Every structure is written in structure tokens, then in C-alpha cells.
Structure 1
Amino acid sequence: MEFTSPEAEQRYAALVRESADTIVGLDFDGTLSPIVADPTEAHIHPEAGEVLVALSAQVRAIAVITGRPARQALALGGLDVVGDTIGDLGRELFVYGQYGNERWSSTDRRVISPRPPAGVAAFLRDVHGVVRRAGLGEAYVEEKGLAVAVHTRRLDEPEEAYDRLLPLIADLAHHHDLVVEPGRNVIEVRAPGMDKGEAVLKLTGDLAARGFMFAGDDLGDIEAFRAVLKLRAQGMATLLVCSASAEQGALIDLADVVVDGPGGVLELLTQFTEDAASIRA
């Protein structure tokens, strides 16, 4: 791992000291799972389950906070099975899906989700025509229940297609009173009122946490980073981790630690687990 400043290294040490009362928040795609062309094949890193179980013994809770539907993240990550083991240790795993609109925990074991807003259904009905008229009919339109995602990664020129589609989709989203969440060759459209930052703040309050680490990789994680910075300004021990890639560097300037993709995230979590265990030995 690479600290971005001497202050960042000090923040890591402070969080280790508060590890027993710390929440570790993690994005899914690009953080726990490598980015792949087909989002339905984005399986969690093979070592992630073991790392999360070991980490759970040293922290208050672990929360996967993702733009994916919660059930999809559970399936692709095998997180329900991981949650069983974490529960046996007396700890808790949370999965917040669709930017915090959906919630699952290893204690409750059911997905709590609001009804899809009417605007999303109307947007889904219209977006296929927008994509075709842009000459990008092969772009993958993913219906996510509470949101719609348009992926350009499968196209021959994914970045050019993304740039062409973004203003068109933004106009359509505005027409249906929805918000746009840009990502790595994906444009997500959803209802306003909830984001990863709100999920971070709610979870912190619910668990009366004294520390928060968040690891993410993309534009959709910026609100979570900002929420952690807000907690830092209030005196909480915090750490921001960027799972860096050649495609996206939006979080690097905000991060305390920069690691190389999901493998680097797991190495950091393993080191944190060992350091936390050593202070209580």
C-alpha cells in the first residue's frame, strides 16, 4: 500500500487503535471484484471471503456498499455464506445495495427494499430508443429494479460511446426527475435522495462507531468519501482507500492510501487485521 502523505500514515495508526469500534465500508466492483466486460460475471476476488472473515474479528462491522442490487452482490460475492461465518464470530456483515436504498445484514438475512419509483420504469421504456438513435444499439442496458445502468464496456470504442451517450442519457434522466451516476464505462440512472454517503452516515450513527474506513474505486464512491471526510472533521478516526486503476483516478486526490485494485485492497485489509490484532494481544 502507498500512503499519500505523512498525515495519512498517522490516520492509519489512529484507526488501528480504534479498530474495535471501526466500520469498514467497501465498494463491490473494482474494489472487491475485478472490473469485467460482462457485469453479471463480476465475481468477488477468490481470497476476499477469507480476508473479510479474519477482518471481522477485529472491527465493529463490515459493510459492502454498492450500486448493484443487494441480491446480485450477495450472489456474485457469496456474501451470504461469508455472513454466516462472520455471524458465528459475533460480528455483523451488511450489504447496502443500489447506493444504500437496499439493506441486508447477516443477522436479519433479508433484503429490505423500497418500491421502484415510477420514473425509473418510464426511463427504461425510453432509453432503448435513445441508445439506438445514437447508433449504439449494442450497448448493454441493465434493469436493476431501482435503477437503470447503460454499459459501454462491450463496445469497440467504449470511452467514445460513453462520451456520446452521457449528455443524451442525462437529458432523459432529467425529464423523468432522476439523477445520473457516471462510472467506469457505465452510466447509471436512479431516483434522487440516497447515495453511498448517506449510507455511511446512517450506518455510523446506528452502530455508534468511533472509526470508519472506506475503500472504493470510482465516481460513484465520491459521496462515500465525502461522508467519511465529514466524520473526520467531527474528530472521528478515518481512512480513505482508493482501489486505483488505469481507467479511473478520480479518488486518488481524496485518498489516504492508494492500492492496486482488489488484490491491493485485500492486502491492506490483511495488514490492518494483523495490526489491530497485535495491539490487543
Structure 2
Amino acid sequence: MRFPTDEGRQRYDALVRAAPRTVVGLDFDGTLAPIVDDPAQAHIHPDAAGVLLELAREVAAIAVITGRPARQALDLGGLEEVGDELAAEGKELFVFGQYGNERWSSQHRRIAAPRPPRGLATFERDLPRALRSADAADAYVEDKGLAVAVHTRRLADPDGAFHRLLPPLQALAQRHGLVLEPGRAVIEVRSPGSHKGMVVDRLAAVTDAEGFLFAGDDLGDVEAFEAVEALRQEGLATLRVCSASSEESALIALSDVVVRGPDGVLELLRELARDARALR
């Protein structure tokens, strides 16, 4: 792992000391699971379950906080089984889907979710015209129930299509009272009022956390990084981890630690578990 500043190393050391009262929040795609062309095939890293179990013995709680529907994350990550193993250790796993609009935990075992936002159905009705206007009619459209994601990764010119689509989809989202969230070769449109930063705040409050680590990889994680920084200013031990790639660099300047993709994230979590265990 790479610390952009000496302060990053100091923050890591402080988090190790606070580990028993620390919450670890993790994005899914690009952080726990490699980015792939087909989102339905984005299975969690094969080592993730074992690493999360090892880490859970040293921290207060672990949460997966993702833009995916919670059910997708549970299935692609085998997270219900991971939750069972954590429960046997007296720990709880949280899964927050669709930027916190959906909630699941290994204790309650069901997904709590609101109704789809007003305006989403009419947005989907108008979407094909917007795709054609941006010469991206073949973009893959994923209906998430509470949101719609337009993926450009499979197109001949993914980056060009992404940038052509941003203005018309932004205008269309605003027309229907929705918000736009850009990511890595994906543009998501959803209801306003919930983001990953709000989940970070909620988790810190309900767990009475003294430390918080969040790891993410793209623009959808910026609010979570900002919330973690606000917790640091309140006196918590914190660490912001960027799962870096050649596609997205927006989080690097905000990060305390930079690692390379899911492999790097899991190696950092292993090291955190080892260092925390050594202090027990």
C-alpha cells in the first residue's frame, strides 16, 4: 500500500489502536469485486470472505455500502453466508444497497427498501431517445428498481459515449426530479436524498464508533470520503482508502492510503487485522 503523505501512515497507526471500536465500510464494485464488462458477473474477490471474517474479529462492525441493489451484492458476494460466519463470532455484517436506500443486516436478514422514486418510470420512457441523441443507443441499461444505470463499457468508444451521454442524461434526470451519479463507465440516475456519506454518518452514530475506515474506487464514493473526514474532525480515528485503477483517479487526492484494486484492498485489510491483533 502507498501513503500519499506521512499523515496517512499516522492515521493508519491511530486506526489500528482504535480497531475494537472501528467500523469498516467497503464499496463493492472495484473495491471488493473486480470491474468486469457484465455487471451481473462481478463476483466478489475469492479471498474476500476469509479476509472479512479475519478482520471482523478485530473491529466493531463491517458494512458493504454500494450503489448496487442489496440483493445483487448479497448474491454476488455470498454475503449472507459471510454474515452467518460473522454472527458465529458475535459480529454483525451490514449491507447498504442503492446508496443507502436499501438496508440489510446479518441480524435482521431482510432487505428494507422504499418504493421506487416518482419520475423514474417516465425517465425510463424517455431514455431511449436520449441514448440515440448521444449516438449511444446500444448502451446497456440496467434497471435497479430504485434507479437506472446506463453502462458504456461494452460500446466501441466507452469514454466518448460516457461524455456524450452526461449532458442529456443530466438534463433528463433534472426534468424528472432525479439526480445523476457518474461512475466508472456508468451513469446512474436515482432519487435525491441519499448517498454513501449519509450511511457513514448513520453507522458511526448507531455503533458509537471511535474509528471509521472507508474504501472506495470512484466518484460515487466521494460523499463517503467527505463524511469520514468530518468524523476525523470530530475526533475519531479515520482512514480513507482509494482502490486505484487506470480508469478513475478522483479519489486519490482525498485518500490517506492508495492501493491497487481489490487485491490491494484485501491486503490492507489483512494487515489491519494482523496489526490490531498484535495490540490485543
5+ long unaligned stretches in structure 2: none
Partner of 2:247 in structure 1? Answer: 247
CA deviation after TM superposition for structure 1 residue 133, in Å: 3.0
Alignment of 1:20-169 (within 5 A): 20-169=20-169
Contact preservation (8 Å) 2:197, 2:227: yes
Alignment length (residue pairs)? 280
> Counterparts of 2:119 and 2:236 in 1: how far apart (Å)?
38
Identical positions, percent: 62
5+ long unaligned stretches in structure 1: none
Partner of 1:12 in structure 2? Answer: 12
In the superposition, the TM-score normalised over structure 2's length comes to: 0.99
> Counterparts of 1:72 and 1:117 in 2: how far apart (Å)?
19
Alignment of 1:176-187 (within 5 A): 176-187=176-187
Contact preservation (8 Å) 1:65, 1:100: yes
Listed one character per residue, the Cα deviations across residues 129-175 of structure 1 (whole Å, up to 9, x for unaligned) are: 21123221110011001110000000010000001011010000000
Amino acid at match of 1:37: D
CA deviation after TM superposition for structure 1 residue 80, in Å: 0.5
Q: CA RMSD in A?
A: 0.6
CA deviation after TM superposition for structure 1 residue 126, in Å: 1.2
Partner of 2:190 in structure 1? Answer: 190
Amino acid at match of 1:124: E
CA deviation after TM superposition for structure 1 residue 238, in Å: 0.1
Listed one character per residue, the Cα deviations across residues 171-200 of structure 1 (whole Å, up to 9, x for unaligned) are: 000000111101111000010000000000
* Structure 1 consecutive aligned stretches of length 4 or more whose deviation exceeds 4 Å: none
Equivalent residue of 1:58, what SS?
A: coil
> Counterparts of 1:137 and 1:181 in 2: how far apart (Å)?
20
> Counterparts of 1:216 and 1:243 in 2: how far apart (Å)?
6
Partner of 2:226 in structure 1? Answer: 226
In the superposition, the TM-score normalised over structure 1's length comes to: 0.99
Amino acid at match of 2:250: A
Contact preservation (8 Å) 2:135, 2:161: no
> Counterparts of 2:140 and 2:219 in 1: how far apart (Å)?
20
Amino acid at match of 1:256: D
